[in-house]
Amino acid sequence: MESNFVDYVKINFTSGNGGKGSTHYRREKFMPKGGPDGGDGGRGGHIVLRGNRNYWTLLHLKYRKHIKAGHGGDGSGNQRTGKDGQDIFLDVPLGTVAKDFETDKVLFEVLNHDEEYVLLKGGRGGRGNVHFKSSVNQTPDYAQPGEDGIESWMILELKVLADIGLVGFPNAGKSTLLASITAAKPKIANYPFTTLVPNLGIVPYRNERSFIMADIPGIIENAHQGKGLGHRFLRHIERNSTLLFMIPADSENIKKEYEILLNECAQYNEELMHKDRLLAITKADLVDEELEEMLKPEIPQDIPYMFISSITGKNIAQLKDLIWETLNKPID
């Protein structure tokens, strides 16, 4: 269900407090007043994010507004160190970005399976009195308290990881293409904003090879300013290595539409301009070869393009060839 896709959560995290150091003294049968032997406190629990390729949404964290790690145990006699507080491990999808809510600073990005990042460190345990013995103080009656843990509101944001991202205005045929060449089953209808969440599909290619395609919800003009569904969806194309722009053959002006889409990407993040770009003129079943020739002057000349139809299958195999060649071209 579409409601199962969650790409943004705000959570209050608290790491564990460190345990107190001990002020214990040795008490043995023949040493009623032995020296200090107080152990250290255990460290507080960390909050740790771990990449998991089997997750594709932050849904499992949506309703967890407060997450706390365990506190460290206190030190005790015979120089015994307190138990470390329980760490909290949170599995997140690849492409998850951790940000500080107050400053909006990006702390790290989880990109690999089983990769672990400490979001908040637990407080250090206090040192026991055995550490404070000296020539002038043989019986220190002092040990350190443990450090407090850290409490902070954090944002976890998901940016979809895919080889190729589909970019186009609402109703450009992106979902139809994805459904026709992958096993994904996106919702398809002839009205804008059918796609409200990114859909991922694995595209099978020759000799059992494949690549991942993401259908990103339709961009509208001024999306980079947050208009409509703007920022929430533009961030998902940051991760795609190649962008496939899709413009219907019955568009009023193909070149102008492409320039608007390109500008939205540039205004949102200039780095998107460094990605490979391809252009698919969709719904080619609505035009014949003569009309295709008439449309060619409208098509931008600085981008590889192809007329396709997901309904009739026209040039779909050729499009997959073009995508594969682009994804696997030698790096300069």
Whether residue 140 contacts residue 59, with contact meaning beta carbons closer than 8 Å, is answered with no
Average pLDDT of the segment spanning 38-47: 97
Fold (CATH) for 1-158: Spo0b-associated Gtp-binding Protein; Chain: A, (2.70.210)
Fold (CATH) for 164-327: Rossmann fold (3.40.50)
Higher pLDDT, 69 or 168: 69
Q: Is the pTM of this model over 0.75?
A: no
DSSP assignment of 79-109, as one string? TBPPPPPPPEEEEE-TTEEEEETTT--EEEE
Distance between CA atoms of residues 193 and 239, nearest Å: 22
Average pLDDT, the chain: 85
Convert the pLDDT of each residue in 302-320 to its tens digit: 899 999 998 899 999 999 9
Q: What is the pLDDT of residue 321?
A: 94
CA distances from 220 to 182, 190, 215, 263 (A): 26, 16, 15, 11
Strand order in the sheet with 305-307: 199-204, 210-215, 164-167, 242-248, 276-282, 305-307
Higher pLDDT, 17 or 228: 17
Higher pLDDT, 222 or 91: 91
Task: Indicate the SS3 state at residue 166.
Answer: strand
Q: For the packed helices 316-327 and 174-181, what is the interaxial angle rounded to 10 degrees?
A: 90
Average pLDDT of the segment spanning 27-48: 86
Structure tokens at 113: 């399976």
Domain boundaries in the chain? Answer: 1-158, 164-327
